[in-house]
Structure 1
Amino acid sequence: MRARSGPTVEHRVLAVRLRLLRERAGVSLRAAAEALDAHPATVRRIERAETALDARQVAELLRCYGVGPAVAEPIMAGIGAANLPGWWHGWRDAMESWQQDVIGVESSASLVRTWHPALVPELLRTPAYADALYRSQYPQDTPARRERRVELLWERRRRMRERGADLWALFPAAALHTRVGGPQTMAGQRTALAEAMQEQHITVQVVPLDHPPHPLTGLPPLHLLRVPAPEIGDQAVLETPGVRVDVIDEPETVMAHRIRLDAASAAAPRPGTPLPP
């Protein structure tokens, strides 16, 4: 798992551009570091968006790479916006460290695809369902912090709707029989799912209890995030609850997860099929 503070997509884009410019210029990490009078690890952190962009350092790197004004000026002009904290910065008290990295990408994603093997996927949960689940997942939380977690989830959903992002969720019917909270909570969650299935930007597929195994059977929660920026490839988030969360951007690994998710979705009942009893 990456130990990062959740850079914005704007920051990630500039970081990738700096790396590509260095590689195209044939400049090594060591040579770039020497131009900054710094250690190669400093350049590596800049290129991974692990540190704020310093205008002086960026200007020196661009000079080292022989970049002309037509390319350099937009990069320099974008530094201020790239260094601004994301909207989620004010919710750090309600987040796990890995969530900052995930939400940093999710906040600009045009498509979020998600699979959960046992529960209603996070971005489709009602506040009551989420609160009941947080009680069991985070028993050490105060009521105030648990409420903040629910508010953060709702804010993520609101922002997705606001920008017209697509959500495509796949999960087994067993999730509808795993009692989270009381009967009223589960009834409310089922109603909310039925309503979500009518929304333009939401696709829901529920795998029946008697369905044969598919490529994601038995696998932990998986999410694929697509950002409409050519510098940033799809990201995969693989959860092992209570153990670790891996944020993956290696193209071949992401592709392998996408193929599994595509196959599982193709094998499931078509979108729009009514929720099973």
Structure 2
Amino acid sequence: MRPRSGPTVEHRVLAARLRLLRERAGVSLQAAAVALGAHPATVRRIERAETGLDAHQVRVLLERYGVSDAEGEPIMAGLAAANLPGWWHGWRDTMLPWQQEVIGIESSARLIRAWHPAVVPELLRTPAYEAALCHALFPAESGAWRDRRVELLGERQRRLEERGAALWALFPAAALHTRVGGPGVMAEQRALLEEAVDRRHLTVQVVPLDHPPHPMTGVPPLHLLRVQAPEIGDRAVLEIPGSRVDIIDEPAAVMDCRIRLDAACASAPHPGTPLPAGRENPGNL
């Protein structure tokens, strides 16, 4: 069975296929549970990718749903890969519980859109910026724990670039006036943001300080994740103050988040516009 590190996209896809096959066959959760000799909650957990995929259970369900060998073979063949822990498993001791689920989707996303109302979005942060921010946000944690979080972020960024996924980030110029670390840290962070215009899969928009209110004004940090798998819909990840996170998968609610972000991006300066001056660079860029 897969160690607990949050489901991978491969796991989610197979779980969703099992649900679709059950619904196509007109089999209720109760009837599927009877076939397994289990509680309906067990079938629900299987279909939500909340538990490992047991080969015997999956085979029983496929038989109950009347799935042909030709249609069921790819599912059975994919079980081994689906039960493997995600690459982030080794960092789970430094991750907040919700991060395991989010990174499980992020790791296969082809498009990530990010908004942060106060600081540079995490997937754009330099190691020094992230380290200084971790020190401020998690002062009670050990230096080793914070170092591991910086290491995890670097691995997320590396994998994002390696697979050519697109990242589109929007944040206010106030982030450039919030001194995270010292002047050197901020200068390095600004340099990375300025290089974004030349990076193929990266889009950065900064809302000026004197910009009027827009649809994302006052909205907590938001990520929109899109995976190229028809079984998995888009996700919206909303970080609520107080270390609570809402992972939204209801299509209408996700669409509302996308419309708001679209409108905010449309009103912001065009990607490639020079960054507004920050504290460490009071002149024009």
Bin the TM-score by the shorter chain: over 0.9
User: How many angstroms does 1:182 deviate by?
Assistant: 1.0
Q: Which residue of 2 aligns with 1:170?
A: 170
Q: Give distance in 1, aligned partners of 2:79 and 2:10.
A: 9
- Structure 2, unaligned runs of 5 or more: 278-285
Kindly report which structure 2 residues correspond to 1:236-247, keeping only aligned pairs within 5 A, or say none: 236-247=236-247
User: How many angstroms does 1:183 deviate by?
Assistant: 1.2
What secondary structure is seen at the aligned counterpart in 1 of 2:206?
strand
Q: Give distance in 2, aligned partners of 1:157 and 1:105.
A: 14
With structure 1 as the length reference, what TM-score do the two structures score?
A: 0.97
User: How many angstroms does 1:104 deviate by?
Assistant: 0.1
Contact kept in structure 2, 1:98 and 1:245, CA below 8 Å:
yes
Q: Give distance in 1, aligned partners of 2:197 and 2:157.
A: 15
Kindly report which structure 2 residues correspond to 1:1-277, keeping only aligned pairs within 5 A, or say none: 5-277=5-277
Q: Give distance in 1, aligned partners of 2:5 and 2:86.
A: 10
Contact kept in structure 2, 1:112 and 1:223, CA below 8 Å:
yes
- Structure 1, unaligned runs of 5 or more: none
Aligned residue identity for 1:45: R
What secondary structure is seen at the aligned counterpart in 1 of 2:167?
strand
Contact kept in structure 1, 2:5 and 2:86, CA below 8 Å:
no
Aligned residue identity for 1:160: L
Q: Give distance in 1, aligned partners of 2:241 and 2:138.
A: 12
RMSD between aligned alpha carbons? Answer: 0.9
Q: Give distance in 2, aligned partners of 1:171 and 1:137.
A: 19
Aligned residue identity for 2:276: P
Q: Give distance in 2, aligned partners of 1:255 and 1:69.
A: 37
What secondary structure is seen at the aligned counterpart in 2 of 1:85?
coil
Structure 1 segments, 4+ long, off by >6 Å, are none
Contact kept in structure 2, 1:215 and 1:260, CA below 8 Å:
yes
Aligned residue identity for 2:205: Q
Contact kept in structure 2, 1:5 and 1:50, CA below 8 Å:
no
Map Cα deviations across residues 175-198 of structure 1 (whole Å, 9 max, x no partner): 000111111111111111111232
What secondary structure is seen at the aligned counterpart in 1 of 2:109?
coil
Q: Give distance in 2, aligned partners of 1:159 and 1:266.
A: 29
Taking only the aligned residue pairs, the percentage that are identical comes to: 75
Q: Give distance in 2, aligned partners of 1:93 and 1:131.
A: 17
Aligned residue identity for 2:253: T
With structure 2 as the length reference, what TM-score do the two structures score?
A: 0.95
Q: Give distance in 1, aligned partners of 2:206 and 2:145.
A: 31
Contact kept in structure 2, 1:226 and 1:234, CA below 8 Å:
yes
User: How many angstroms does 1:204 deviate by?
Assistant: 0.2
Q: Give distance in 1, aligned partners of 2:181 and 2:146.
A: 15
Map Cα deviations across residues 49-70 of structure 1 (whole Å, 9 max, x no partner): 0000000000000000000112
What secondary structure is seen at the aligned counterpart in 2 of 1:168?
strand
Map Cα deviations across residues 134-164 of structure 1 (whole Å, 9 max, x no partner): 0111111111111100000000000000000
